[in-house]
Chains A and B, each alone.
Chain A
Amino acid sequence: MRSSSPTITTTHINMTPRISRLRRISMEASHRISAERALLITDFYKNHQAFGDSTPVQLAKAFRHIMLGKSIYIHPDELIVGERGPEPKATPTYPEITVHSLQDLDILNSREKVWFRVDDETRNAYRDIIIPFWQGRSNRDRIMQAMSPEWKDAYEAGIFTEFMEQRAPGHTVAGNKIYRKGMLDIIEDINQANQALDFLNDPNAFSQAEELKAMRMAAETLIHFANRHADKLTEMSDAEDEPNRKAELEKMAAICRRVPANAPSTFHEALQYYWFVHLGVVTELNPWDSFNPGRLDQHLYPFYKRELEAGTLTRVQAIEMLQAFWIKFNNHPAPPKVGVTALESNTYTDFALINLGGVREDGSDAVNELSYVILDVIEEMRLLQPSSMVQLSKKNPDRFIDQAVKITRTGFGQPSIFNTDAIVQELINQGKDIKDARNGGASGCVETGAFGVESYILTGYFNLPKILEITLYNGMDPRTGKKTGPETGEPASFKTYGELLEAYRKQVEHFVDVKLRGSNIIESIFMEHVPTPFLSLIIDDCVSNGTDYMAGGARYNTNYIQGVGMGTVTDSLTALKLHVYGEKNLSIEEFVGALQQDFNGFEDLRFRLIYKTPKYGNDDDRADDQLRDLFDIYHDAVTGRKSPRGATYRINLLPTTCHVYFGSVTLASADGRKAGLPVSEGISPVQGADTRGPSAVIRSAAKIDHLRTGGTLLNQKFSPSFFKDDEAIRKVSALVKSYFRMDGHHIQFNVVDAATLRDAQKNPERHRDLIVRVAGYSDYFNDLGEDLQEEIIRRTEHEST
């Protein structure tokens, strides 16, 4: 052990009183629905303000109507300005994407978890104006009308979910473009692209010209939007008596007049510019994963360094600005979701994931002084949003990972830890340029992307255990009695385990095809009806291609389908393989019968399954061999297929909260899991099945070929006592580094003991600040459903004695 390593220290940073006030407002503000945006967009279309325009121009005009019509909120304490809604946590809706019914609003208002208050004024606006206009005309209506009966059957059976049903594709991350170019520079690029159009030979030239026109309008809109803030700040400055704040407000007004029109020249301008861009993206549409500055320490460091050297910024001032920036993210809960979409992502978190560390474009160590400063900010702020992660490359110093692990000890689940070297290889495997790969990272939960140049869209979760269930019923869903899959044979006809596996493969392939057909149609709908000229400004090469983000304008285009329940399906197939085809101690009909009875009357079997059958997560190849097979089946069914915008379909393995929903539609499974309970999450072992400690877990998890995915999620729970001293922290760091040497993609630690969680269930009021890692994100324990709370408690505690 490197006992000579220096002690891991944290420079404790404090919040200034105004940051404390802003933080408190952000934490205490009530989640509520604001009808403002919905009314503005209804007004826009109702009055036919863009009648006759091309679709991108219509959407650009709608964007302008909202951005110039919405109220401007600036709190007297703020340093970074701009709100998505009329005030913190007042959450806009997007009726052109999905229009909430009055019943939806009542559910949002009254549900126990992840609620949004709906006041009478909002409800009336919905009843009288918004619903009458949008009902039957939203994008969701278009999608649902276009889906085939077999797609609907599979969707209702809970075989897969559909991300685009209530939110728009986004799932992308800003690169460094906005720190080099102002909107005026981007408009210049648009003009150049326009000049290069070839109306003589290119049949798409006119549609590209329309798209570029829309982009120009969107860029101008953001400048106007910033100027509205500048005007308000000037007003506030005029009314301010306190000379320091007065000067500060004047300076902020000047910043809002400089950016986003021009490229930023200071640290403060860089943050404010990003924030205006963020607001543009999340106001234009409700894209999944909000929006995300990505490699924040990389983008900001040149400004930080230059200003520190010039003496125009102090470290303390930079920290305060970063803290103010953090609070802005926390003001924005994910747009309200209902139905299955609410189940698959049941959280206020909107998945902006700040990346720190990793490598530079030239492959060198990217950790800088600001990386540590931001880690301190994360620790001090302890906010649900933004999420944060560290990218760990073999080139990064140990101090960096030790510091990150030390923060995870505080128990709010951040930062999670990603393997830069694996991410770069994953991206290169997808055919990306090495520099684009090194500028990439992970966003959302764990998804790999080339930041600033890629559209990588998550299309939905895929219920792997449910498909095994359907296989065991020859294509029928035993929960509903409906034939949803092809007939791949009565299980009794399978003479070998190989035949069972082959039937499962056919079912997976079938449902992947159903899912892809649906996703392709949905993608075409977005290409046709919902271009995003504003987002297209930020992601290269949409401008130079004259093509929208939604239509394949980005340099790289990827679609992901997220597999769920890998642990459950692995253990289930292991049990079938060993008990039915190996030891032959029961027939497959008997086995299926026991599952149908939810093990009632088959208690001994369930006991054997749980206690006497090999399980994934213990570095035991008797189970892990099935994992390898299952990974290949899923991977091969999806990877390489093409979408209408030219994207390549790929897989990743993550659940958000979908493992709870998928479990609820799946009967008892052959691993001993009772009907309705959650399936396993990410690539984590089945809850409680890993009994040989974390080193066996990472060994098992590394048997997945992570480099052929776009991200995997591994969750490990430790009790706080495990991190008691620097030596213990270094052992956890060593565990992480070992996993990454084996090409593991991501690992996160839940640091909390079960007793604390039990107490939080009984006395939620005493644990209002308890944030736990759920799966790819953190959430307030009190905001989780009881089933998720139970599951988190059940996860194996690797308490080492």
Chain B
Amino acid sequence: MSGIIFNIKKFAVHDGPGIRTTLFLKGCPLRCRWCHNPESWTPEPVSIHRQIRLDGHIHNDSERIGVLTTVEEIMQELERERIIMEESGGGVTLSGGEPLMQPDFSKEILIQSSQAGFHTAIDTSGYADREIFRKIAPYTNLFLYDLKIMDPEEHKKFTGCNNEIILRNFEWLVRQDCEIIVRTPLIRGITDTPDNLEQLLTFLIPYQDTLKQIDFLTCHKMGRSKFEKLGLPYAFSGIDPTPSQSEVTKITSMFRNEGFTVTQS
């Protein structure tokens, strides 16, 4: 079996416990305006043209984003990292894109990784059929579950998708026997509004006992050049979409005060 991935990141230290290898699967149903991996959106491979300056010469280069890769090849790559995963308590994380856009491929990687003894995590937008979650949950040790915008209209506006399915999947998943870390990107004026955070808090409070932690992501400055390379309009030209550290601290304490374990990365 094979699927399309656009990056294998080794020594990933922010995608779950320990030192991990993160696989970036191509294709995403969402179109978040702050996305820092817009090259992951389309399911099929794309080419990005770039110019590299060397010795005063400009070299035109094109980079293929997305490579058809077999599960076997992936397992060989993961096997190379085995000692590092074992020593650090790390494992493999499926990210994207939305890994569940390639459900069978994802499932096969998760199954084989579990069999190989690797800790498995999946970084998901939650936007997938329930049936897919049902299939992969038994092989997934940890979900990094994105909750971005609680208001359905706003969610639709900034991500291009309805959040109903995301929230219902979350409610189902919390009742299953698996660890979940909620990940919320803090985007100035979009996700960091008091309204949105209040709603998020209200939504999460019932699950406080089962939820492992909430991780607020604050590094979104790198998206711009990628949008430009892909010829896509960038929503934050001239604006820094990252909230100030004092605002972030306010937000993290708001959740901490309610008893959540909060991290910032």
Contact = CB atoms under 8 A, between A and B. Distances in A.
A728 B80 contact: no
Interface string B2-14: 0000000111111
Contacts of A735: 11, 19, 84, 87-88
B219 interface: yes
Interface string B57-74: 101010000000000000
Contacts of A711: none
A174 to B, nearest CB: 34
A607 B59 CA distance: 8
Most buried by B among A2, A728, A801: A801
A735 B87 CA distance: 8
Nearest to B12: A800
B88 A734 contact: yes
A1 B119 CA distance: 11
B209 interface: no
Contacts of B59: 603-604, 607, 611
A754 interface: no
Contacts of B86: 738
Given A603-B54, A606-B55, A1 B88 contact: yes
* Chain B interface SS verdict (over half): mixed
Nearest to A672: B54
Contacts of B12: 800
A738 B88 contact: yes
Contacts of B89: 1-2, 734
Contacts of A699: 80-81
A619 B9 CA distance: 13
Interface in A136-163: none
Interface in B17-32: 17-19
A694 interface: yes
A456 interface: no
B52 interface: yes
B229 to A, nearest CB: 16
A606 B54 CA distance: 9
Contact of A800 (B13, B17, B83, B84): B13
B101 to A, nearest CB: 24
A738 B83 contact: yes
A16 B135 CA distance: 65
Contact of B13 (A603, A619, A731, A742): A731
Contacts of B84: 695, 698, 734-735, 738
Contact of B10 (A1, A693, A741, A742): A693
Nearest to B83: A738
Given A737-B87, A741-B87, A742-B83, A607 B10 contact: no
Contacts, number: 75
Contact of A693 (B9, B87, B88): B9
B54 A610 contact: yes
Interface size class on chain A is 20 to 34
Interface in A583-613: 599, 603-604, 606-607, 610-611
A798 interface: yes
A694 B80 CA distance: 13
Contact of B57 (A603, A610, A694): A603
A692 interface: yes
Interface residues of B, number: 26
B135 to A, nearest CB: 27
Contacts of B13: 728, 731, 800
Contacts of A1: 17-18, 88-90
Contacts of B219: 801
B52 A734 contact: no
Interface string A1-43: 1100000000000000000000000000000000000000000
B19 A734 contact: yes
Interface string A701-742: 000000000000000000000000000101100110110011
A695 B86 CA distance: 13
A527 interface: no
Given A619-B80, A693-B9, A800-B11, A599 B55 contact: yes
A731 B57 contact: no
A734 B87 contact: yes
Contacts of B90: 1, 734
A313 interface: no
A751 to B, nearest CB: 15
A760 interface: no
A191 B155 CA distance: 91
Given A695-B19, A734-B87, A800 B14 contact: yes
A611 B52 contact: yes
A318 interface: no
Contacts of B14: 800-801
Contacts of A599: 55
Nearest to A2: B89
Given A1-B88, A734-B84, A738-B83, A693 B55 contact: no
A598 to B, nearest CB: 10
A696 interface: yes
Nearest to A699: B80
Contacts of A738: 83-84, 86-88
Contacts of A603: 54-55, 57, 59
Most buried by A among B55, B86, B87, B89: B87
A238 to B, nearest CB: 60
Contacts of A742: 83
A734 B13 CA distance: 12
A738 B9 CA distance: 18
Most buried by A among B52, B81, B88: B88
Given A695-B10, A695-B11, A735-B19, A611 B61 contact: yes
A731 to B, nearest CB: 5
B10 A692 contact: yes
Contacts of A734: 18-19, 84, 87-90
Given A603-B59, A734-B84, A734-B87, 16 more contacts: A603-B54, A603-B57, A606-B55, A607-B57, A607-B59, A611-B59, A695-B10, A695-B11, A695-B84, A731-B13, A734-B88, A741-B87, A798-B11, A800-B13, A800-B14, A801-B219
Interface of A: 1-2, 599, 603-604, 606-607, 610-611, 619, 692-696, 698-699, 728, 730-731, 734-735, 737-738, 741-742, 798, 800-801
9 contacts: A606-B55, A611-B59, A692-B10, A694-B11, A734-B18, A734-B87, A734-B88, A737-B87, A742-B83
Interface of B: 9-14, 17-19, 52, 54-55, 57, 59, 61, 80-81, 83-84, 86-90, 219, 222
